[in-house]
Amino acid sequence: MWFSGPSFETPAEIRMARILGADAVGMSTVPEVILARFYGLRVAAASVITNYGAGMTGGELSHEETKDMAPIGGKRLATILKRMIGGGNDIE
């Protein structure tokens, strides 16, 4: 499910997303795909989840934690994509 950001979702928005069946929420993938399709591009999308939603862990959300997790998730996603396309050992 998409929320516009740039702020984190509220606990109420996370509860609503769960009730509506969302497994994850994000701020950027959906509008990027919409824009790409508008320009006639074919799209396959993958997102990196960098934090739990507000109210899910009992702690406060941190932009620093999100920034720290993004490169870790990016490396994991790159590994998955390399395996899917047959190796690609030269891809960084």
User: Which amino acids are annotated catalytic?
Assistant: 9
Q: Which positions ≥6 away from 81 have C-beta within 8 Å?
A: 46, 88, 91
What is the amino acid identity at position 59? G
**DSSP bridge partners of 26:** 2
**Around Cβ 65, how many Cβ atoms within 10 Å?**
14
Task: Compute φ and ψ for 2, nearest 5 degrees.
Answer: -110, 135
